[in-house]
Chains A and B, each alone.
Chain A
Amino acid sequence: MTIKHHLSDELLMAYAAAELPEAFNLVIAAHLSMCDECRARSMAFDALGGAVIEDSTCEMSAGSLEACMARINGLSQAPATGMRRGDRVLPAPVLDYVGGGLEAVKWRALGMGVRQSILRIGDKGASARLLYIPAGAAMPDHGHRGLELTLVLQGAFRDEADRFGRGDIEVADASVEHTPVAEAGEACICLAATQGSLKFNALLPRLAQPFFRI
């Protein structure tokens, strides 16, 4: 698998700092599951978090160590958990949200063979959905109202400038206007997160600014 389209440093840093809406975190976690390059970059941003945490201290209350030991007494070591892995199409974070593999996805027809399944996301900052686009068909309703991350899980799509295959992530915002079309051959399945249109999250446009040079 050769991934050509990666995450920006801004998004990786915001993910490390846990400052993004859940839907974006999900798409990023899914991409990191498929992309060693971005996984390694993401771990470097965690290391930066480690350096930041080293930088300042605040005195603990008297007796805090004893209180912590009391908390620990009775705790056992964490039990061994199974390896959390994805399947052929869906990476583990997506499996968690679907509650199973592709066969468990509850698709809703959008017409022209295109289907979508909106995933259950706790916060309103952004929404996430799976898209199924038959080979050769166009992506539906592609006006970007805000930041949108689209991760290819199966097949590929093309727009005027680029090709996006499995593992590739497209980062687009309102200034991007294009008409992506699924490649011939296999149906294209994508995970897409779109910034919520009701509640405006001020963080994201600011994050996107240096990246998109708005």
Chain B
Amino acid sequence: MAADVEQTDWSALVFRVRDDQDKAAFAALFRHFAPRVKAFLMKSGASEALAEECAQDVMATLWQKARLFDAERASVATWVFTIARNRRIDALRKSRRPEPEDLPWGPEPEPDQAEVYEAQQETERLGVALAQLPLKQRVLIERAYFGDLSHSEIAAETGLPLGTIKSRIRLALDRLRQQMDVKATEK
């Protein structure tokens, strides 16, 4: 299925799971993301059996928490990564990792389409940029995320366009704080 490789709108599939408990949409998400979560966990040091088990768990969590997916802020891949990371902490008995407090927004009931598109595109753009890095640098970044930091070469500068993502999110935060200030003065 070629559509799986190119421009699948993963966020739309998550919305179908959220709104209609759509099993076909979930199956498509599962076929794409479960093997990636499994690979991530195995590269992080999990056995094949544990990685399989946890990948199923992560996908079940995606189903259960579809309502919490904030498509304006993160791509589905990014969201899946954060779920997988938290599952890995439990599975591999890593250090507890407290989360920052909730931002004073939840997922919008009707998210802004341009924002959603932008957030979903970011992962693809980052993926392309990652693939274009010199192999040595790419491997180091991946190993950092797999928790396999056996070299002292963790670079502060990844050479990736992370600044653009930061700027977009920063702008959204600023807008939000302003809205809150307006609301506070209206009271």
Q: A-side interface residues toward B, CB under 8 Å?
A: 8-10, 13-22, 25-26, 29-30, 32-33, 36-37, 39-61, 64-65, 67-69, 71-72, 75-78, 83-86, 91-93, 96-97, 122-123, 125, 203, 206-207, 209-211
Contact = CB atoms under 8 A, between A and B. Distances in A.
Given A47-B78, A85-B101, A93-B100, A52 B141 contact: yes
Interface string B153-167: 011111010110111
Interface of B: 18, 23, 26-27, 30-31, 34-40, 42-43, 51-52, 55-57, 59-60, 63-68, 73-75, 77-82, 84-86, 88-89, 94-104, 122-123, 126-127, 130-131, 141-142, 144-147, 149, 151-152, 154-158, 160, 162-163, 165-167, 169-170, 173-174, 177
Given A25-B95, A53-B40, A78 B67 contact: yes
B88 A44 contact: no
Contacts of B75: 47, 50
Contacts of A36: 170, 173-174, 177
B166 A41 contact: yes
A206 B154 contact: yes
B95 A91 contact: no
Contact of B158 (A30, A48, A59): A48
A47 B161 CA distance: 11
- Of B23, B34, B52, B100, chain A has the most CB atoms within 10 Å of the CB of B100
Contact of A13 (B84, B85, B144): B144
A77 B144 contact: no
The 5 closest A-B CB pairs, nearest first, are: A50-B78, A92-B101, A50-B77, A32-B100, A51-B126
Q: Is the interface of A mostly helix, strand, loop or mixed?
A: helix
Nearest to B157: A9
B165 A44 contact: yes
A123 B67 CA distance: 33
Contact of B64 (A26, A55, A77, A84): A77
B77 A13 contact: no
A145 B187 CA distance: 50
A112 B173 CA distance: 41
Nearest to B78: A50
